[in-house]
Structure 1
Amino acid sequence: MTVDRDPRSVLESYYEYVDAGDTDALLELFADDIRYERPGQGAIDGIDELRTFYEHDRPLEDGSHEVDRMIVDDNYAAVRGRFSGVQDGDDIAFGFADHHEFDDDGLIVDRWSYTDRDTV
């Protein structure tokens, strides 16, 4: 799939792909040296660890993101929204704030996720 590499388009694609479970398309949005941090949990370093996370370790089994606000400033973006889905067989819903940094090729090189749940 071809994705417009401006940050807003990349992030719109990100939420679409993650909700669809399309790991291959999702990983094309990230730089090989991606660092993904989720406070209270171990950092994910590199595209291989990110693949493992999305294919095997992500505790959310199903669901969708609803973006309330996206602010883009050059190579940085902040997104606020809500997620509803399934975790450990239970229906869940929570708010999130994601922050992203993009490299010069328009790929996500740093990602931070903050939620009002301890483990996602």
Structure 2
Amino acid sequence: MTKGAVDPQRLEEEWRADMEVLADLAEHGDRAEIERPVDVSFRGSPEALVRLTEAAEGLGFDYLDMETSPDGDPCLFLVRDQRADVESIKALTATCLQIEVDFGVEYDGWGCAAQDGTSE
């Protein structure tokens, strides 16, 4: 179903932002090898987001929520369990940017809670 290639400059921009998030997690004692829910968000037309919601499971994600952003745009949140190490996050970002291209949506980033191994 791939419609086109991810822009390498866009991938580089997202990766720089990812490195900041990973550094922040590490500063808070995160153990990146611990699997945890990682959510991703996308903005787009309601129709595009519904198509993505319907395809989410086949892409390795579960539906989390659909909200309206403060500026009135619909925003879709998906989630999957994974580690937050460099390789896993790089793969996640590449997947999400391909989703952006394939579904005509805008990838808006990822997030997760720091995991130090002391609680579930």
**TM-score when normalising by structure 1:** 0.29
- Give the structure with the higher percent strand: 1
Larger radius of gyration: 2
Structure with the larger RCO, 1 or 2 (CA within 8 Å, 6+ apart): 2
Structure (1/2) with the larger helix percentage: 2
